[in-house]
């Protein structure tokens, strides 16, 4: 039910600089993300979850590829692709943003890092933002260069990530504010260190800038982490649903418009900079959205796995939505999920039916995050 | 060595309309292609190969997603994205083409189908051509609409595909020329039938236009194929290397320019229509290319698997290229491969060294296809 399959390797399925190290560290199961293998299970989804919640874990997230944007029009271009107001984005700071198309549809939801006045990285979710941005820039004829640099993030996540990072880099990491970053090195390995990561347990990401040093970096962090009982880990489906971290391809796609997500604080529709989706999003705002991405708490026995394909949501036998991510939370002792639900059925507290692989269940619409 | 891993399912890894049917039919191993699960092994790579060579096989290739381009500027746009001259492309005809960017780099290598004067499908390889084309069209401001329609190809490949297709559709399929297609239906299931497919063993593709009928279509073809001892199959790594079918992501990527591939007959650099990569490709043509994609016959014991990651190619201990695909051909009784090799080392008949997972081997540069 959890849903696992055998996958045949090929050169097309890219290997991260940490790939061999993750195999040595006991990676049991993978996903494909941005054409790259990414480990998602070590001891087990639950064991990995508790390691993250209670301690500290090291993640190969090299599959979060970087799209580098430089050139005289780079700042103008980055403003153009998102409804988020980036006018206050400082050099050395990152911001989460929705990349939106001409219809207001969500192309991707990266962290945008500003490395210079006209130098940005998009640290992306699972699709070819490189192609979207290059195509758009080509058509516009603006002065930007867009490439995928040799950059491979490694995440250190969990409550003990801070003392471990202090051991590795020194006291200055304590002062790093959320989403801020610094260019540095570790024993000659060129890095950007950011306070960030795809969990809400606290942590950092090390953006490795030399793929040849991946295994060395992994081993150095593992060695330094021994005193904190560090474990290999990965973006954890249970924790990220609890924390309300949406996943592109699971909880949203190009057909999801930005206003269907409960992410209003990241959309400044009236920002002064020019942006592609302005007209579409203004129209959607006046008209109201036809559906919303919400949380659902689902009754009954603990789920024995995640959402391998969408589950139908209904009310009085009428389809009114779909569950797109789900897990049993061992901490909340509840089945929690993310769902897209139609207008009229998505008010907080509403009750709906969910066709799960473990039978039909009652469910209650709730706010996200769950904790 | 062949390289298999466990993969964790999620909604983000899309399921084809034939997915449940392929599991029922014994799919043992999958790949991810255009964010979708695609079966690649049933009985075994060798057994599947012989079924294809000797008989007839049914393939779930729904992961060959379609990018639909319509609108007043659709023809102009499709010419714009490729160096192939499409002026003679008829309604009801398909052509293989390289999609190229402003540097002449290969974005993708689809079959372009013309359904109407200004109505096209790109039947694509593994990346988000939808994002590339939509971004470009947005930037240009041309009058085109670009979408991913509900279309899921199913391939019938092998020497017995023709009699089976006649049984299913009638004698007219015999008259269908290579890459030509016809809109039709099968017991009410809306289809486009094309003489095409990712093998050189002869065959057809059925472009299913209603995903809800996937399992029914699969079962109908399997039932009709019983008298020909049809087997489930898939794009086969051995056969496609023998036949010189290049794979985007394996044998080429955005950093491969169109002239590095032995596909000159698909590039009309002096075509009259306007196209994006004209200046770049003209420059590369005058200067000459620095490397070429070629065939390699590799000495020694039969390989026990494919190329899970690139293998280094060298000459006198100097790196001069990489192997990107490889297989042992049980028909040619040779190790065959596709490689990218630098100028000075890639002349037909040259000898180079290959670092395979089974040791260092001598290899000879050869023409593609191998048979």
> pLDDT tens digit string along B200-221?
999 999 999 999 999 999 999 9
* Consecutive H or E run containing A237: helix A237-242
Residue A96's nearest CA partner among A198, A241, A234, A237 is A198
* B 68-97 residues with CB < 8 A to A: none
Inter-chain residue contact B136 with A139, CB threshold 8 Å: yes
Give ipTM to 2 decimals. Answer: 0.97
- Residue A329 CA to residue A336 CA, distance in Å, equals 7
Inter-chain residue contact A126 with B35, CB threshold 8 Å: yes
Mutate to test the interface with B, among A3, A7, A8, A132 (most CBs of B within 10 A): A8
Inter-chain residue contact B8 with A15, CB threshold 8 Å: no
Instruction: Give the three-class secondary structure for B126.
Output: coil
Query: B31-69 burial by CB neighbour count: b if 16+ within 10 A, else e?
Result: bbbbbbbbbbbbeebeebbbbbbebbbbbbbbbbbbbbb
- Residue A131 CA to residue A76 CA, distance in Å, equals 18
- Residue A17 CA to residue A212 CA, distance in Å, equals 7
Residue A140's nearest CA partner among A274, A253, A257 is A274
pLDDT at B2 (0 to 100): 47
CA distance B327 to chain A (A): 11
DSSP state of B366: E
Q: What is the mean pLDDT of chain B?
A: 97
- Residue A202 CA to residue A179 CA, distance in Å, equals 11
Q: Does A2 touch chain B (CB under 8 A)?
A: yes
* Consecutive H or E run containing A136: helix A129-140
Residue B59's nearest CA partner among B14, B21, B5 is B21
Task: Say how far residue B270 (Cα) sits from the centre of its chain.
Answer: 26
Inter-chain residue contact B6 with A7, CB threshold 8 Å: yes
| Residue B109 phi, psi (nearest 5) | -135, 75
Inter-chain residue contact A12 with B141, CB threshold 8 Å: no
Which pair of structure tokens corresponds to residue B131?
């994002």
Q: How far is the first Cα of chain A from the last one, in angstroms, to the nearest whole number?
A: 26
Q: Is the pLDDT of residue A1 over 60?
A: no
Inter-chain residue contact A9 with B15, CB threshold 8 Å: no
CA distance B98 to chain A (A): 15
**pLDDT tens profile B125-179:** 999 999 999 999 999 999 999 999 999 999 999 999 999 999 999 999 999 999 9
Inter-chain residue contact B132 with A137, CB threshold 8 Å: no
B36 backbone φψ class: left, alpha, beta (φ>0; ψ -120 to 50): beta
Burial (0-12, 13-18, 19+ Cβ within 10 Å), B268: middle
Burial (0-12, 13-18, 19+ Cβ within 10 Å), B330: middle
**pLDDT tens profile A230-285:** 999 999 999 999 999 999 999 999 999 999 999 999 999 999 999 999 999 999 99
**Cα–Cα separations (whole angstroms), residue B151 to B65, B122, B193, B210:** 7, 11, 12, 7
Q: Is the pLDDT of residue A179 over 60?
A: yes
**pLDDT tens profile B242-298:** 999 999 999 999 999 999 999 999 999 999 999 999 999 999 999 999 999 999 999
- Compare CB distances from B128 to A37, A128, A324 and report the shortest one's residue: A128
CA distance B65 to chain A (A): 14
């Amino acid at each position: 039910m959890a849903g696992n399959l055998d996958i045949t390797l090929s050169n097309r399925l890219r290997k991260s600089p940490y790939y061999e190290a993750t195999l040595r560290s006991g990676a049991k199961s993978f996903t494909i993300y941005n054409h790259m293998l990414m480990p998602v299970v070590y001891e087990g989804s639950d064991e990995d979850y508790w390691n993250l919640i209670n301690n500290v874990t090291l993640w190969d997230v090299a599959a979060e590829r970087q799209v580098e944007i430089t050139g005289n029009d780079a700042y103008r271009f980055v403003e153009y692709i998102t409804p988020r107001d980036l006018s206050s984005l400082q050099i050395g700071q990152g911001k989460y943003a929705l990349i939106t198309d001409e219809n207001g549809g969500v192309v991707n939801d990266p962290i945008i890092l500003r490395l210079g006045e006209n130098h940005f990285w998009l640290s992306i979710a699972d699709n070819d933002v490189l192609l979207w941005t290059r195509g758009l820039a080509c058509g516009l004829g603006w002065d930007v260069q867009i490439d995928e640099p040799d950059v491979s993030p490694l995440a250190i996540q969990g409550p003990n990530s801070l003392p471990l990072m202090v051991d590795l880099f020194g006291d200055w990491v304590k002062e790093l504010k959320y989403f801020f970053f610094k260019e540095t090195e570790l024993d000659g390995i060129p890095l950007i260190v950011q306070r960030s990561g795809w969990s809400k347990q606290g942590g950092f990401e090390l953006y490795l800038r030399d793929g040849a040093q991946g295994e060395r970096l992994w081993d150095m962090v593992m060695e330094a982490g021994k005193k904190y009982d560090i474990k290999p880990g990965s973006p954890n489906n249970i924790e990220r649903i609890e924390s309300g971290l949406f996943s592109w391809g699971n909880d949203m796609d190009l057909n999801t418009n930005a206003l269907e997500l409960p992410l209003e604080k990241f959309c400044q529709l009236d920002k002064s900079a020019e942006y592609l989706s302005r007209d579409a999003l203004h129209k959607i705002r006046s008209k109201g959205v036809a559906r919303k991405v919400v949380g659902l708490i689902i009754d009954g026995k603990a789920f024995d796995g995640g959402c391998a394909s969408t589950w139908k949501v209904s009310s009085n036998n009428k389809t009114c939505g779909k569950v797109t991510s789900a897990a049993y939370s061992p901490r909340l002792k509840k089945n929690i999920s993310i769902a897209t639900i139609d207008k009229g059925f998505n008010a907080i507290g509403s009750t709906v039916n969910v066709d799960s692989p473990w039978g039909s269940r009652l469910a209650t619409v709730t706010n996200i995050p769950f904790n």
